[in-house]
Structure formats: structure tokens, C-alpha cells
Amino acid sequence: MTKQPTGKTALMKFEDFPTAIPALGEPKVQTPIEKYAMVDRHGRVLEKSFVSDTDRVAVHDSLDYLESLAPGEKPLAMELAGPRSQIYFDPSKVHCAIVTCGGLCPGTNDVIRALVLELYHLYGVRHIYGVRYGFQGFIPRYGHDLMDLTPEAVANIHIFGGTILSTSRGPQDTGEIVDALDRINIRILFLIGGDGTLRAATEICQEIARRELHIGVIVIPKTIDNDIPLVSRSFGFDTAVEVATEAIHAAHTEAIGSPNGIGLVKLMGRFSGFIAATATLALREVNYVLIPEADFDLDGECGLLANLEWRLQQRRHALIVVAEGAGERYFTEENRERDPSGNLKPGNIGHFLQDEIKNYFKGRQMEINLKYIDPSYLIRSRPANYNDRIYCGFLGQNAVHAGMAGKTAMLVSRWHSHYVHIPIEAAVGKRKDVELDSPLWRSVIESTGQPPLKNL
């Protein structure tokens, strides 16, 4: 009897998961990337190798999964990223555009810079344009000019936060976007954005196909929350965790500096608690971590407030980290707002907890000193740290290789230490969660010692 794979990811079957990357046509242009000799420590001469479309990376690398395959059944695998020996576009003629969409994120400028330098220096592309203010930049009535992107224009942008192209939220007419792409002769569109951008990219690709245009669309996934599926780590996440730990450390210092001190830190994480969980492990000073994936009660013998009271009686201080999307059941749709894209915003869990904690201890006639810290905008606007900068460089380079090879309707990802191509279809509309039986969350529980916070 064969073993059955366990866990949500392992249950994904090959036939249910799209892995084929669409192409604009057969690549017939010899790449301008030259092979060059490399000499190893033993004096052996090695040649730089190119990547083939048949080179694959397994989605699941567990022995249980491999043993569960039927005889002759192929394992689920994704196309390996990297330079191809034959490309689709003539570098001397191709026009490329770069767009940044959604919220600010550390590393966006690094990705832009990597795209431009790779296109310009490695492939010899001379027509590279930056589209200002997201998808608004394609729509004539907004009046946003294109930006010529050259190595000189992007030379120092990586030392700044934000995006040199600026950004915007909210949907724009897909037909008008494709009209603009066709009008200004764009043949490769590089999109830097999150789930909303993936949805828009899907519609753009469908409209391009309907018109039978030869325009490639390559997405570099951007989300601080690290919640895009089949992306092991999104750029900006490492920087976000680093800045979050600074806020947690400050809150802990405040908490231990006064009797019954409580530090309350709200971190980003609308649907997934990766930042809160990872930053907690970075310092191991946190006592309670609240994330969207794990429900909790406020009241009752086993609820947060009673546990917090017990903690103060025992240790005289406490530190709480909460992700912005935690505790959504405490908010109704009527008292929540929507963003320009129509997405329902989470309730303000930080202010809600602040008020609930103060009211609880006021009713118990117990004096507390609560300090509330929300570093969200400090995180969003921060330049990337060195680890994210390196990662952004790889993402940008591999996005260019894919675009020049004529790939389309795909995003660049890192999976099992390899850079791979993911069909947009496989990631759009889906979300990666913190699994409560995962080593990550088990480590958080072991570090904090927090109980389930549920009146079971």
C-alpha cells in the first residue's frame, strides 16, 4: 500500500494544478548573452550553461508524496527560471514597460533597478519605460507621462524606500490599458504587485489574447504579508520582519518599565500572520500572538483578557503582538471600509484591543500602563535590507530572462531554493496561510507559552 501525502499542499494533484507557461511563439533569436569560460579551483574550464524549458523543479519534495505517485505518474513540477539560448524578442527592437501597483513595499525600487540593468546591459534593450502611478499611467485622462528608464535614471534608487514610479490602487479599464500597450508598441510588460495585480494581469492577458497581440506579461509578486501561494518568500518580507522586531523591542522596553506594563504592537497581515509569527520568533519576548488564522476569545475564563490579568499578576508586564486581520469576527461589515479596489478593509483590531483591555482592567479596578505601537507606515516606506536587496536582484533578472524568451501570463517565484516560473492562473485568487500545525506556529506557541485563548 502506498503512503498518502499529508497536508494541504501535498494533497494537490498534478492534473489539478496548472504548470505550463504560455508562450508568445517559438523563440528563434539567438540570445546576446555570451557564453564565457569559468575556471574552477582545480583548473578545469567550465562553460556557462543556459536553461531549457524541460528543466523542472518539483513542487513537493517529500518522500511521502513521491511514494504516493502511481507507476508512471509524473510528479508536480514547475519550469525552472533562467536565461535561454534562444529568445523570442529582438533586443534592438523590443519596447518594455514597468509598472508598480498597490501599496508601498520595501525592495520595489530594487526590482525596478534590476529589471532595467538586466535589460539594458545584458540584452542590449534600449526602449524601457516606467509607467507612473500604477495602471493610471496607461489611461490618457490622468495625464501621467511615461518615464524613460536608463541605467543613469535608476543608479541610486535602491537606497530609497517607496517606488520611483509611484503607485495607485483601484481598477482601471482593461481595454484602455491594452489600447495603451498597443499604441506605444510595448511588447513586454513587467508588473510589480500583489493579488490585485495578479487579477488585473489575468484580465490583461485575456484581452491581449482576444486581440491576438504579441505582448508578454511578467509579474514580480509583491506583498509584505508573504501570502501569495507558491512563493516561498515575497520580497520586502525580510525587511518588514526586521523593522517589526524594532517595534516589538520598544514595546517590551515600555512594558517592563512600569508596573503592570502592557506593550501592544499591531503588525501588517490582513489575511495571513506571517510577519507577526516570524517577528515573534526573532525576539522571543512576546507573550501573546494574535493572527487571522487562529480564532481567540476576549472574555471568559480562557479568553485573552483573563489570561492577560493572570500574566500581570505573575510577571507584572506583558507583550501582545497582533496582525491587522486578526479578530475579524469582532467587526461587522457595516463598520468596515473598502479600499479603492473594492476590497473590504479589516477592522482596526489594534485600537479595538486597546479599548477592550483598558475597559476590562478599569472594571477590575486594576491600574495598567498600556503602550500601543503601530509601525505599519514605517515598514512600508523603509528601503530594503541587504537580504531583500539580493533577493530583488534575482527576481528582476529572472523576470527579464522570462520576458525576453517570450514567456507570458506568469510570475517569478523562488521555490525549494530555485527560481521558477508560476502560471498566474495557479496563484490568482488564492492565499497562503500560516498553518496552525506547522513548525512555524508550533515554534511561536512554544516561544510564547500562550494557551489556546478559547473557551472550549
Provide the total of helices (H) and of strands (E) in the chain, helices listed first.
Answer: 12, 17
Determine contact, residues 128/150, Cβ cutoff 8 Å. Answer: yes
User: DSSP letter string over 61-83?
Assistant: --HHHHHHSPTTPPPPEEEEPS-
238 in active site:
no
Q: Which residues pair with 219 in a beta bridge?
A: 191, 411
Q: Catalytic one among 195, 225, 227, 388?
A: 225
Q: Which DSSP helix (H) or strand (E) runs through 32?
A: none
User: What secondary structure does DSSP assign to 162-231, as a single string?
Assistant: S-TT----S---HHHHHHHHHHTT--EEEEEE-HHHHHHHHHHHHHHHHHT---EEEEEEB-TT---TT-
d(CA 376, CA 365): 33
Contacts of 18 (CB under 8 A, 6+ apart): 423, 425, 426
State the amino acid at position 139 in one-letter form.
I
Residue 128, all three cell numbers? 524601457
Q: What is the largest CA-CA distance in the chain?
A: 78
Nearest to 180 by CA among 220, 117, 129: 129
Give CA–CA dist 94/100, Å, rounded. Answer: 20
Cβ atoms of 323 and 273 closer than 8 Å: yes
Question: Beta strand 261-267 with 369-373: parallel, antiparallel or unpaired?
Answer: parallel
Which residues, in sequence order, are CB contacts of 195 under 8 Å at separation 6+?
Answer: 223, 227, 228, 428, 429, 431
Of 221, 247, 243, 245, whose CA–CA distance to 234 is shortest? 221
Residue in 418, 420, 375, 399 with CA at minimum distance from that of residue 110: 399
| Placement of cell 496607461 in the chain | 138
Q: Give the integer Cα–Cα distance in Å for 56 and 432.
A: 22
Active-site positions read 225
